[in-house]
Amino acid sequence: HDPANAQVLDSLARVRDRRGDRRGALELLERSVRVAPQRSQGFNNLGILRALNREPELAERAFRRGLSFQPADSSLLLNLAHLLALQPTRGDEAIALYRRGITAAPDNVDAYLALATLLARAGRLGDAAAALGRAADLAPGNPTLRQQALRLAQEAARR
């Protein structure tokens, strides 16, 4: 269990992937998580690459394996939420993961935006407006966010 070796394997995997050797990159990442299973970054990298390789089941497995070692890792939580959000039947699970990820990384504007989108899609406009409002609080230089949050809140009030 050597995190330094795992980091080297992760770096080599990035190089292989950039050179078009996705299979070689995945093999190196699999070795990385075996060498240092306590390193959540290795599972995160593996999950991302599996998702990019259009292997959602294997991506989900990698993210969940990482979460079994580091249950509050915001990157793992949010990447798994993003993955599940792409699957129409798993919206509620994705929402719960976004909420956990936001608890771990409360300043992540993108996570609030993704959560707001899912909540709005589920018809939970008040909750979506609140998430969008929090994103607007975190990004005061973006007046569009505040306007969208107010519009959603007004629409929720009309329902």
**Residue 112: C-alpha distances to residues 31, 63, 75, 87, 141 (Å):** 34, 20, 14, 19, 16
The DSSP symbol for 88 reads: G
User: What does the alpha-carbon distance between residue 97 and residue 128 come to, in Å, rounded to a whole number?
Assistant: 15
Query: Please, which residues have CB within 8 angstroms of residue 141's CB and are 6 or more apart in sequence?
Result: none
A 10 A CB-CB count for 20 gives 9
Q: Which residue has the higher pLDDT, 99 or 144?
A: 99
pLDDT exceeds 70 at position 1: no
Name the pTM for this structure: 0.87
Tens of pLDDT, residues 125-149: 999 999 999 999 999 888 888 888 8
The CA R_g of the chain, rounded to the nearest whole Å, is 18
Which amino acid, one-letter code, is at 56? P
